[in-house]
């Protein structure tokens, strides 16, 4: 299967139209000399960061944007699963084998590049400050070659993750509509705010039941943040809880490729479109 068919699964015409529409609107917003670094993070784990990061990266590529997905999981990396195990190097090679970040980038065949995280390598599961700085510098350098770098981070506010949020232009804080997830997402936002993050912070509700009003969930959360911190966070959108995500992962495919017109795929593309138009 060629690259375009892989990206669109035959729905070339409809997606092509969508892409042209976004291009038209985004033309006036172009012209910066480095791409945007977008972190996808959360307070609580298991809320869909990896699912969203992978699909966002593919959606941005479908819109013609040069995109690199970086799996910043230093313990149990899994972004690679979606791309049929294409990589021969991973983040560990930067520290253990003196490779540059450019040397550990792999092309996925889905129109995006990927830096695979490291699994089960104790030596880099807790990066010290010097190594975090080294990797941050590498990511900033890499961003000059791409329109977007997506950082799929670990949950929580550990130093290893937080430093990468601080070099990001955009931070998407993912939460699911449950009290613990919302409280933990709020904690991440509070820390970013107190650390004077320059990023545009957006809140994104994932796994929303179709009978709930996703927009209202996001609005309510934004309202609480405004009230408690007196800080504006952006509407990062919402994604339905969808069986399609499960079917897709069983076939090791991003859902946006497996079922491009499922509601959750349309929502993910909409979020990608908004990012392009606003950055």
Ligand X SMILES: Nc1ncnc2c1ncn2[C@@H]1O[C@H](COP(=O)(O)OP(=O)(O)OP(=O)(O)O)[C@@H](O)[C@H]1O
Q: Which residue number is nearest to Mg ion in terms of Cβ?
A: 50
Token pair for 179 = 């009290």
Chain residues in the site for Mg ion (CB under 5 A): 49-50
Closest to 87 in 3D by CA, of 110, 112, 104: 104
- Minimum distance between the CB of residue 196 and Mg ion, rounded to whole angstroms? 27
Burial (0-12, 13-18, 19+ Cβ within 10 Å), 5: exposed
| Residue closer to ligand X, measured from CB, 155 or 188 | 155
Site string for ligand X, 199-238 (x = CB under 6 A): -------xx-------------------------------
Site string for ligand X, 242-261 (x = CB under 6 A): x--xx--x------------
Q: Among the residues of the chain, which ranges form H helices?
A: 3-8, 12-26, 49-62, 91-96, 129-142, 159-166, 179-194, 214-229, 243-250, 255-258, 263-278
| Residue closer to Mg ion, measured from CB, 44 or 49 | 49
| Residue closer to Mg ion, measured from CB, 8 or 236 | 236
CA 158 to CA 180: how far, in whole Å? 18
Interior angle at CA 249, CA 208 and CA 127, nearest 5: 85
70 binds, among Mg ion, ligand X, none (CB under 5 to 8 A by kind): none
* Region 23-42 residues binding ligand X, contact defined as CB under 6 A: 42
| Residue closer to ligand X, measured from CB, 10 or 45 | 45
DSSP letter (8 states) at residue 250: H
Which residues, including other chains, have CB under 8 Å from residue 128's CB and lie 6 or more apart? Answer: none
CA 114 to CA 70: how far, in whole Å? 6
Which residues, including other chains, have CB under 8 Å from residue 32's CB and lie 6 or more apart? Answer: none
Closest to 190 in 3D by CA, of 169, 171, 217: 171
| Residue closer to ligand X, measured from CB, 65 or 172 | 172
| Residue closer to Mg ion, measured from CB, 22 or 139 | 139
DSSP letter (8 states) at residue 98: -
| Residue closer to ligand X, measured from CB, 40 or 68 | 40
48 contributes a contact to ligand X by CB under 6 A: yes
Site string for ligand X, 147-166 (x = CB under 6 A): --------x-----------
Site string for ligand X, 112-141 (x = CB under 6 A): ------------------------------
50 contributes a contact to ligand X by CB under 6 A: yes
Judged by the rule CB under 6 A, the positions of this chain that interact with ligand X are 42, 45-51, 155, 206-207, 239, 241-242, 245-246, 249, 264
């Amino acid at each position: 299967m060629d690259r375009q068919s892989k990206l669109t699964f035959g729905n070339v015409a409809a997606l092509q139209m969508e892409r042209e529409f976004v291009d038209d609107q985004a033309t006036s917003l172009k012209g910066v000399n480095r791409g945007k670094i977008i972190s996808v993070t959360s307070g609580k784990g298991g809320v869909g960061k990896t699912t969203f990061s992978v699909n966002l990266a593919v959606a941005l590529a479908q819109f013609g944007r040069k995109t690199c997905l970086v799996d910043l999981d230093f313990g149990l990396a899994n972004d690679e699963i979606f791309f049929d195990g294409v990589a021969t190097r991973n983040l560990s090679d930067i520290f253990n084998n003196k490779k540059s970040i450019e040397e550990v980038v792999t092309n996925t065949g889905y129109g995006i590049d990927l830096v695979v995280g490291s699994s089960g390598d104790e030596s880099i599961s807790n990066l010290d400050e010097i190594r975090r700085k080294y990797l941050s510098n590498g990511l900033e350098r890499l961003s000059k070659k791409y329109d977007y770098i997506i950082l799929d981070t670990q949950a929580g506010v550990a130093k290893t993750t937080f430093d990468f949020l601080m070099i990001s232009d955009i931070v998407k804080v993912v939460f699911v509509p449950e009290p613990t997830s919302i409280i933990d997402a709020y904690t991440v936002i509070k820390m970013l705010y107190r650390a004077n993050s320059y990023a545009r912070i957006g809140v994104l509700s994932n796994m929303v039941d179709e009978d709930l009003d996703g927009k209202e969930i996001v609005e309510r959360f934004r309202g609480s943040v405004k009230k408690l911190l007196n800080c504006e966070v952006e509407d990062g959108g919402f994604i339905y809880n969808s069986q399609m995500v499960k079917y897709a992962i069983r076939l090791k495919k991003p859902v946006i490729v497996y079922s491009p017109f499922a509601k959750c795929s349309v929502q993910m593309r909409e979020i990608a479109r908004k990012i392009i138009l606003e950055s």
